[in-house]
Amino acid sequence: MDINILLPRLLAAAWLLPLASFAGIVFFGPRLGKGGKGSGYVATGAILLAFVLSATALVLWLSHSPLPLGEGQGVRADLPVTGPHPNPLPMGEGTKAISGDWYALGALGDLKITIGYYIDALTLAMFVMVSLVASCIHIYSFGYMHEELHEVTDPLVTLKNGETLRRRGRFHRFFQYFSLFCFSMLGLVLAGNVAMVFVFWELVGICSYLLIGFYHERRSASNAGNKAFIVNRVGDFGMIVGLMVLWTGLGTFSFSEIFNQVRPAENQHQLQVPEGLVRYAARAEIAGIVRQAPDLETAEKQIAEQVPLWREKGFGYGWLVLAGLGIFCGCVGKSAQFPLHVWLPDAMEGPTPVSALIHAATMVAAGVYLAGRFFPVFTPEVLLVIAYVGCITLFLAATMALVATDIKRVLAYSTVSQLGYMMFALGLGGWIAGLFHLFTHACFKALLFLCSGSVIHACGTNEMPQMGGLLKKMPYTAWTMLVGCLAIAGAGVPFILGGIGLSGFYSKDCIIAMGMVHKEANPLHGWLFYVAVIGAGMTSFYMFRLWFMTFSGKPRDAHVHEHAHESPRSMVVPLVILAFLSVVAAWNLPSTRWGLEPLLRQAYPAGAETGNAAGAIWKTVAIPAESASHDHAVHGQATLYALGMALAGFLVALAYYGLRLLDPERLRRTFAPLYWVFINKWGFDRLYGWLFVRGSLVAAWATAAVDRYVIDGLADNSARAVALCARLDDWFDRRVVDRLIDRLAGFTYAAGLRLRRLQTGNVRQYVMLLAVGTVVLFMLMSFYVRSVFK
Amino acid sequence: MNPLTQPIGLSHYLVVGAILFVCGIACMAAKRNALGVLMGIELVLNGANLNFIAFGSPLLRGEANQTIGLDGQLIALTVIVLAAAEAAVALAIALVYYRTHATIDVDRGEELKG
């Protein structure tokens, strides 16, 4: 079958399977197996099948549009290199996409809302990654959530009468939400237009809300769910603004049409302000021309001549920047970037598999994905803003991770920091670097979260100071987590075979190299690069701090240590799979150039390979070409930077926490003010609480008071009046209307009783009566109606 | 004026019809046998038929040049056909009546009284 038909069908099936599982669990969940265990099988089966379908789709895609296998086309320096510029990257030439619509939801004037698809290499890679990671986490959840199979006692919730809460298990509900999430996430990736993206964007948001608040009886969990939801609304507001600007200017929501208008092929895919936005910005001038022109046709001709001139003058450029910033604002909310990063650490209130799937591997990466998808629309100014936001985020979050003691919170801050890295890379123009890191990060962060879940499962606490010495007790968890730590720190061996390392080694190198190229192009913004490099060191430090505190040394809490045990097999197997992926995710298949990075390169946005021209508003900003960062010299240097910082971080962590040569307590006392700032999360929660939450609470209190006393009083009184009316009406009905009817009926009944005596049933009597009656009638008539007989 | 001395005219027919009619009515009222009642009905119908034919006859009306005078006979034919149909139904009723009451005495049938 034609690949243009087959691929959308395959992916649609993969997309809708979790929806079917969701619907099935909604209706039959609690009845499937004991305690709803069957719903877990349904959801896992659906996502596994989705993975098989996505993988099939990817293979089909590769067989149809194979990756370039030419000499020197790998991004890594590990490939044979000859000559000064060995990597004439064939980037962008393969930006083919299959797009179309399945179903039109409706057309409101010019606005057409459709359910469509936009499939390119990025879509396929996301599909495979999401379904694979989700499959692992589904399997893991069997072990992790097994308590929910029967009645649960939640020690963290105290009821009003002083008892702890006992409630029914929610095993099926967990998998129900998971299925809904997988459906939404795949839909978000598959979406062919921005309106559909927005719908699924909100759907993943609601899934996140539901799953953060999975233990909604706990006050902290329900607060965290609300916080995540509300903070995301702030970002979505910006996104709606961006969508409105795009629609006003371009008149379409479809990705392919947006890209065609913003980077038209006849302009060598260079960024230009689309005509719609130019016309919108110059509407005053257009009105002038129309007023002076003799007829509309000439006016239209004049306007068409003027459009390029207006575009030169910068008409509409501001709108394009606004559109980009708006879309990015949505990504800021979803990907927990500064200043909306506050929700993600709190989201750790959800069960750990949720943190792994939604708040580490997939949903929060959706923001990065969307920023990558919209990369062609971003002007240099927007990209610079993205780079700054990403850079601030990665630094702030890393500092918070340095001092956190809750094992999941360390990972949450680390997630925020790594998301910052991705945004940072995108903002520098490193499209491949940013998205590459997205994929590798998904693997190792899911692994790290699942490991932390395994530890929490064993210890019954999140606090690292109570752990320690767990290496012997839980070897699988410890070693897989070490793999995860090495991967996120970017461990590798440089220059041997061109450098071999774990997945994070490749992706982080790409980002650092891009930072170096950007620094050379924009010396003014050079400090961004140094922050990113320092961030790499901090990453390595806090990750190994976590590992040493948890697994090495002597047990700090004897009770916890005795209680600890290795997790069941259903939890260990996904750990091993993900650990394997964390190692090899960035590798190309041996003796070919088939791998993640070449695949991404195939989806590289057309026109971006030469870098973006200087901005129109900030003329000094220049976005360098990504291919420049693949230069051997740059890359080698970046590898040294990244690896050196990672090694330094590791050594410091080893000295303080591994070998305990130095005392972290003294360090804390020396830098007490700094520690205070970090542990209080730079005061963001307090600031927002003071600025927004308190105000909204006061407003809510006031409206509640109005509601209770004014509106409730009104409603109560009107209800009372209605009741009185009803009572009156009732009296009238009974006394007057009912009696009238009763009398009438009684009279009719009595008359009937009398008249029935006439009906004797005797035929002969009837005949006589008939005859006599007729004769009498005629006689009467002859007396009174004489005219008849005359 | 003695009708017996007059030539046969309309009034003679009417008299015969009236006698037939009254006989029929008397038969219907007096007979307890259902078949007798049916016969009475036939008499009534025939009395009426006689009137129709008499009134319809152009000879008797003295208007021979205006119509061919078949309307009374047509109606009479219709009545005969109807009477036949009615007799068939009535006999069927009588049969069923006999089956349920073991007699055809109409005075025994009082189930339909009010």
Instruction: Dump pLDDT digits (tens) for A137-179.
Output: 999 998 888 888 888 887 777 787 878 888 888 888 889 999 9
pTM for this structure? Answer: 0.75
- Residue A78's pLDDT band (boundaries 50, 70, 90)? very low
Note whether B114 contacts A764, CB cutoff 8 Å.
Answer: no
Residue of chain B whose Cα is closest to the Cα of A769: B29
Question: Considering only A213-217, A348-352, A604-608, A732-736, which range has the smallest mean pLDDT?
Answer: A604-608
CA of A767, closest CA in chain B: separation in Å? 6
What pLDDT score does A75 carry?
40
CA of A768, closest CA in chain B: separation in Å? 6
Question: Considering only A37-46, A174-183, A537-546, A603-612, which range has the smallest mean pLDDT?
Answer: A603-612
Is residue A339 reached through a cis peptide bond, with omega within 30 degrees of 0 on the bond before it?
A: yes
Q: What is the mean pLDDT of residues A528-552?
A: 89
pLDDT in tens, A459-475: 888 888 788 778 888 88
Note whether A760 contacts B113, CB cutoff 8 Å.
Answer: yes
- Interacting residues of A258 by C-beta distance below 8 A, sequence separation 6+: A194, A246, A250, A252, A377
pLDDT in tens, A562-578: 777 788 888 888 889 99
- Interacting residues of A19 by C-beta distance below 8 A, sequence separation 6+: A179, A180, A183
Question: Considering only A65-79, A99-113, A565-579, which range has the smallest mean pLDDT?
Answer: A65-79
Question: Considering only A294-298, A477-481, A650-654, which range has the smallest mean pLDDT?
Answer: A294-298
Q: Which of A412, A323, A313, A303 minimizes the C-alpha distance to A364? A: A412
What pLDDT score does A631 carry?
73
Note whether A764 contacts B29, CB cutoff 8 Å.
Answer: yes
What pLDDT score does A609 carry?
63
* Chain center to CA of A176: 17
Residue B18 lies in a domain: yes
In whole angstroms, give the CA distance from residue A160 to residue A174.
27
Burial (0-12, 13-18, 19+ Cβ within 10 Å), A238: buried
Question: Considering only A183-192, A258-267, A482-491, A685-694, which range has the smallest mean pLDDT?
Answer: A258-267
Residue of chain A whose Cα is closest to the Cα of B21: A771
Chain B residues in contact with A757 (beta carbon < 8 A)? 114
3-class DSSP state for residue B25? helix
Chain B residues in contact with A767 (beta carbon < 8 A)? 25, 28-29, 37
Residue B111 lies in a domain: no
Instruction: For chain A, give the number of residues.
Output: 790
Residue B32 CB neighbours (<10 A) = 14
CA of A781, closest CA in chain B: separation in Å? 19
CA of B97, closest CA in chain A: separation in Å? 14
Winning range, highest mean pLDDT, from A490-499, A603-612, A765-774: A765-774
Chain A residues in contact with B30 (beta carbon < 8 A)? 764
pLDDT in tens, A585-638: 888 776 666 778 778 887 887 777 665 555 567 777 777 777 777 777 777 888
Nearest to A758 among B32, B110, B114 (CB): B114
Nearest to B29 among A760, A761, A767 (CB): A767
Q: What is the mean pLDDT of residues A651-673?
A: 83
Say if residue A786's pLDDT is above 70: no
Note whether A764 contacts B113, CB cutoff 8 Å.
Answer: no
Chain B residues in contact with A761 (beta carbon < 8 A)? 109-114
Nearest to B106 among A757, A759, A764 (CB): A764
What pLDDT score does A490 carry?
83
Asked if residues A571 and A454 have their Cβ atoms less than 8 Å apart, the reply is yes
Say if residue A718's pLDDT is above 90: yes
Burial (0-12, 13-18, 19+ Cβ within 10 Å), A691: exposed
A680 phi, psi to nearest 5 deg: -90, 15
| Higher pLDDT among residues A41 and A31, named by residue | A41
The CATH number of whichever domain residue B73 belongs to comes to 1.10.287.3510
Instruction: For chain B, give the number of residues.
Output: 114
pLDDT tens across the length of chain B (114 residues): 677 777 888 888 899 999 999 999 999 888 889 899 999 999 999 999 999 988 887 766 666 566 666 788 899 999 999 999 999 999 999 999 999 888 888 888 777 666
Note whether A759 contacts B37, CB cutoff 8 Å.
Answer: no
In whole angstroms, give the CA distance from residue A340 to residue A472.
40
CA of B8, closest CA in chain A: separation in Å? 24
Note whether A761 contacts B30, CB cutoff 8 Å.
Answer: no
Residue B1 lies in a domain: no
Chain B residues in contact with A764 (beta carbon < 8 A)? 28-32, 37, 106-107
Residue of chain B whose Cα is closest to the Cα of A755: B114
Chain A residues in contact with B113 (beta carbon < 8 A)? 759-762
Residue of chain B whose Cα is closest to the Cα of A768: B29
Q: Which of A737, A755, A633 minimizes the C-alpha distance to A77? A: A633
Q: What is the mean pLDDT of residues A11-31?
A: 89
What pLDDT score does B60 carry?
67
Q: Which of A127, A97, A90, A118 minimizes the C-alpha distance to A13? A: A127
Residue of chain A whose Cα is closest to the Cα of B27: A764
Q: Which of A356, A427, A345, A350 minimizes the C-alpha distance to A388? A: A427
Asked if residues A473 and A479 have their Cβ atoms less than 8 Å apart, the reply is no
pLDDT in tens, A432-446: 889 999 999 999 999
In whole angstroms, give the CA distance from residue A612 to residue A268.
12
Q: What is the mean pLDDT of residues A476-505?
A: 82
Domain count, chain B: 1
Q: What is the mean pLDDT of residues A106-128?
A: 86
Bridge partners of A125?
Answer: none
Chain B residues in contact with A768 (beta carbon < 8 A)? 29
What pLDDT score does A634 carry?
78
Question: Considering only A77-91, A262-276, A619-633, A727-741, which range has the smallest mean pLDDT?
Answer: A77-91
pLDDT in tens, A314-357: 788 888 889 999 999 999 999 989 888 888 888 888 888 998 88
Is residue A555 reached through a cis peptide bond, with omega within 30 degrees of 0 on the bond before it?
A: no
What pLDDT score does A91 carry?
42
Note whether B112 contacts A759, CB cutoff 8 Å.
Answer: yes
Residue of chain A whose Cα is closest to the Cα of B41: A767
Chain A residues in contact with B107 (beta carbon < 8 A)? 762-764
- DSSP secondary structure of A322-388: HHHHHHHHHHHHHTT-TTSTTHHHHGGGS-HHHHHIIIIISHHHHHHHHHHHTGGG--HHHHHHHHH
Question: Considering only A15-24, A479-488, A753-762, which range has the smallest mean pLDDT?
Answer: A753-762
Residue B97 lies in a domain: yes
Say if residue A498's pLDDT is above 70: no
Residue of chain B whose Cα is closest to the Cα of A757: B114
Asked if residues B42 and B83 have their Cβ atoms less than 8 Å apart, the reply is yes
What pLDDT score does A462 carry?
82
Binding-site residues on chain A for chain B (CB distance < 8 A): 755-764, 767-768, 771
CA of B31, closest CA in chain A: separation in Å? 8
Note whether B25 contacts A760, CB cutoff 8 Å.
Answer: no
In whole angstroms, give the CA distance from residue A256 to residue A263.
10
Tell which of A767, A768, A775, A778 to mutate to test the B interface (max B CBs under 10 Å). A767
Alpha-carbon distance values, A163 to A147, A160, A168, A626 (Å): 20, 7, 16, 61
ipTM: 0.81
- Interacting residues of A747 by C-beta distance below 8 A, sequence separation 6+: none
Note whether B110 contacts A757, CB cutoff 8 Å.
Answer: no
Bridge partners of A623?
Answer: A612
Tell which of B21, B23, B28, B105 to mutate to test the A interface (max A CBs under 10 Å). B28
What pLDDT score does A636 carry?
80
Residue B20 lies in a domain: yes
Residue B114 lies in a domain: no
Tell which of B23, B25, B41, B105 to mutate to test the A interface (max A CBs under 10 Å). B25
Note whether B112 contacts A758, CB cutoff 8 Å.
Answer: no
What proportion of chain A, given as a percentage, has pLDDT over 70? 93
Residue B110 lies in a domain: no
In whole angstroms, give the CA distance from residue A390 to residue A376.
18
CA of A730, closest CA in chain B: separation in Å? 39
Domain that holds residue B57: 9-105
| Interchain CB contacts (distance < 8 Å): A and B | 38
Note whether A763 contacts B113, CB cutoff 8 Å.
Answer: no
Tell which of A753, A758, A763, A765 to mutate to test the B interface (max B CBs under 10 Å). A763
Say if residue A70's pLDDT is above 60: no
What pLDDT score does A787 carry?
65
